[in-house]
Structure 1
Amino acid sequence: MSTLYTIINIAFQVYFWLIFFYVLSSWIPGLRESSIGVAIGRIVEPYLSIFRRFIPPIGFIDISPVVALIALQFIQQGLFVVLRMIL
C-alpha cells in the first residue's frame, strides 16, 4: 500500500513541477517554443485550460496556474483519503 502512495505522490509532484516550469518558461524568451517547452505544454496545457476558462487574466497576469496548482494539491490529498478508505 505504501508503494502505491509513493507512486501517486511522485506522479503528482512531477506534474506539479512541470506546471511550475511551464509557467516560469513564459518569462524566458524562446523557452516555451523550444522542444522541451512544447512537450511540457502538451502535457500541462489540457489541465491548465480548464482553469483558464473560468478565471480570466487580471491585466497581463494569469492567475489560473496558481489556482490549478492549489487544486492539484487538493486532488492529491483527496485521492489519498479515498485510497485509505478503500485499502
Structure 2
Amino acid sequence: MSLKYQLIGLINIAFQVLVYLIIARCLLSFVRHNPYQPIIRFIYDVTEPIMSPFRRIIPSAGGLDFSPFIAVLAVEMVRRLIIQLLWMI
C-alpha cells in the first residue's frame, strides 16, 4: 500500500473521530454531566474551536443549537477537499 493511501486512510479516521466527538458533545447536552471530568473536558476542548465560529454566526432558534450540524457539514467538506487534493498529487 502506498503512502498516499495510508495518509488518506489516516485523514479519514481523524475526521471521523472529530465528527463522533461533535455528536458526543450534542448527546452530552441532553444529560446531566460533570464538566470537569477529564473525558468530557477533552470533548469540549476538541470541539469548541470548531463549533464556536458557527455558534457566533448562527443564533440558536427556539432553544435549538444548529452549530453542531453546520460544524459536521464543514468538517465533512474540509475532509473531502483534503482528500481530493491528495488524489491530485
Q: TM-score, normalised by structure 1?
A: 0.91
- Partner of 1:11, secondary structure, is helix
Determine the structure 1 residue equivalent to 2:37: 34
Greater relative contact order (CA < 8 Å, ≥ 6 in sequence): 2
| CA distance, structure 2, for counterparts of residue 32 and residue 25 of structure 1 | 10
- Partner of 1:73, secondary structure, is helix
Query: Would you say how many aligned residue pairs link Structure 1 and Structure 2?
Result: 86
1:52 is aligned, of 55, 75, 80, to: 55
Question: What is the root-mean-square deviation of aligned Cα atoms in Å?
Answer: 1.2
Aligned amino acid, residue 25 of structure 1: L
Aligned amino acid, residue 29 of structure 1: R
Name structure 1 gaps, 5 residues minimum.
none
- Equivalent pairs: percent with the same residue? 35
| CA distance, structure 1, for counterparts of residue 76 and residue 34 of structure 2 | 26
